[in-house]
Structure 1
């Protein structure tokens, strides 16, 4: 038998093995965002967040998130990640929120069911792609100063800018 058919079979099996690895990959990439979430804003400053309620893991949340813009009264993307003691995802919740929902980010070691829960907020278009898994990434990440958010918050809630800034400072100082 000639060596060519043997080499061809080896190459074919290598390609099949690589294809199977690619099919089973569950990483969500920036290319997926561009494909799934084209950009045209319905209003100035419009943005999107990945949105899901109690998805099994980050891939399921990001893959099946509806492609819709956040309401005008929201400004941030929120993520709640519930994990078992081995760090495996139990549930993922993501949504658009106002400033008030982002003042308590961080992780709890155990909830009443024995799970670790981490919450994070971020400002920006579909910025909540990754999951918070520890105190380092369970943070409130903004691109603009909180004082700029106060004007928006005052029109919705009867709290002053001073109390928002103090509350934000206190929530970050315990980390």
Structure 2
């Protein structure tokens, strides 16, 4: 049984209202959290198929949990010979899909394809643009590592997040 605290309720209300003031150059990461997961160790990834660029992928990504058999967030970024995005694909992935992170040049059209994988909730915010970003990384402790935030810390984080949402909301209204 889950209990909803007052700060969590405030965060939900502010995030709902805040979405009406969405700025096109910002992604609302503060409001991508949820109190309950569908299974232990549940996490989310930005997901899209052949989006025009990273912004459109992240902005329109559905807010859903990854399947239980996946542990990573996978990103494939295709760029033209000027480094501009041609296609972005992001999804939940298994370890098998993440074994070959890196960049490859496609000689017949001059495109470059970079792939990366990460481990952590919505860790695939950015797209890899070169070999430095095309890596297999962990954004935090591995699932099941035994490190969980204490309830007091969670309340504090929720309160700070709600305060941030409220400050942003007030600045949009005034």
TM normalised by structure 2 equals 0.63
Secondary structure of 1:109's counterpart equals strand
Per the TM alignment, residue 114 of structure 1 is displaced from its structure 2 partner at its CA by 2.3
Q: Over aligned residue pairs, what C-alpha RMSD do you find?
A: 2.1
The one of 55, 60, 68 equivalent to 1:59 is 55
- Greater Rg by CA: 1
Q: How many residues were matched structurally?
A: 120
Q: How does 1:24-63 map to 2 (within 5 A)?
A: 26-28=25-27, 32-35=28-31, 37-39=32-34, 40-63=36-59
Measure, in 1, the Cα distance between the counterparts of 2:107 and 2:92: 24
Identify the residue that residue 97 of structure 1 maps to in structure 2: 93
Counterpart of 2:149? none
Q: Could you say which residue in structure 1 is the equivalent of 2:11?
A: none
Residue 92 (structure 1) shift: 0.3
Q: Quick check: 1:141 aligned with 2:140?
A: no
Q: Which residue of structure 2 aligns with residue 84 of structure 1? A: 80
SS in 1 for 2:97: helix
Partner of 1:128: 124
What is the CA distance between 1:112 and its match in structure 2?
4.1
Contact 1:107 1:138 in 2 (8 A): yes
Return the alpha-carbon distance in structure 2 between the equivalents of residues 117 and 141 of structure 1: 18
Distance (Å, rounded) in 2 between the aligned partners of 1:27 and 1:67: 16
Aligned partners of 1:111 and 1:117 also within 8 Å: no
CA distance in 2, matches of 1:86, 1:112: 15
Flag the structure with more relative contact order, 1 or 2, with Cα contacts below 8 A and sequence separation at least 6: 2
Deviation, 1:63, is 0.5
Find the aligned partners of 1:123 and 1:71 in 2 and give their Cα distance: 14
TM-score (norm 1): 0.63
* Equivalent-residue separation in structure 2 for 1:25 and 1:69 (angstroms): 24
**How big is the shift at 1:34?**
2.0
Offset of residue 26 of structure 1: 2.7
More helix by share: 1
